Amino acid sequence: MPKKIEEKKKSKPTKKSQELKEKTPSVKEEEGRMEELRKLLIRKREQIVKEATEEIKKFKSGEKRQLVETVLDDGDLSVVDLAEDISLRHLSAHRETLVKIDNALRKLEEGTYGICEDCGDEISKERLKIMPFAILCRDCQEKRELLEKIEREEE
Ligand SMILES: [Zn+2]
C-alpha cells in the first residue's frame, strides 16, 4: 500500500463530526433529516436484495445450480465471493452496493454520516443527494480513482 494512504487514515473524522453536531442550530430538524435518510437507505437495501434474489432465481437451473443453492442456503450474499464468476457479475455489483448501504447506515448510527473518510470534511449535500452512500468528498474520490488507475496500470 502506498505511504500516502497510510497517512490519510490517521485523520479520524469522529471529533469533527462531534463538533458539527454541537454547532447544528436545530438538532430536531437534523435528526428528522437523518431518519428520512435512514428509511431511504433501508428501502434501497430491500430493493437490491429483491433484485438480487430475482437474479439468483434465473441462475437456478443449469451448471450454476450448485453455486446458487449455496448462496440461498447461506441467506447472506456477503459470505459468497462471486467476483470470479462472470455470469454472476451482476450479483457482485449488488453485493458491493449492499456493503455501501450498510456502511452508510452504520455511519448514521455513529454520527459520522456525510463526513469524508479521507480528509474529514463535510461531503456536500448535493453530492449526497445524488449518491446517498458516498463516503468521500468529490476531491478525495477523484484522487482515489486516479490512484487506483495508476495502481492498475502498474500491475
Ligand atoms: Zn475528502
What is the pLDDT at residue 79? 42
Q: What distance in angstroms lies between residue 13's CA and the mean position of ligand 1's atoms?
A: 10
Neighbours of 78 (CB within 10 A): 10
Cα(116) to centroid(ligand 1), Å: 5
- Cα 145 to Cα 149: distance, rounded to the nearest angstrom: 6
What share of residues in the chain are helix, strand, coil (percent, to 5)?
75, 0, 25
Q: Are 33 and 93 in contact (CB under 8 A)?
A: no
CB 128 within 8 A of CB 134: yes
pLDDT, tens only, 100-121: 899 999 999 998 999 999 999 9
CATH class of 31-154: mainly alpha
Could you tell me the distance, in angstroms and rounded to a whole number, from the CA of residue 91 to the centre of ligand 1? 29
* Predicted structure pTM score: 0.57
Ligand 1 centroid – CA 10 distance (Å): 13
Q: What mean pLDDT comes out for the span 142-154?
A: 92
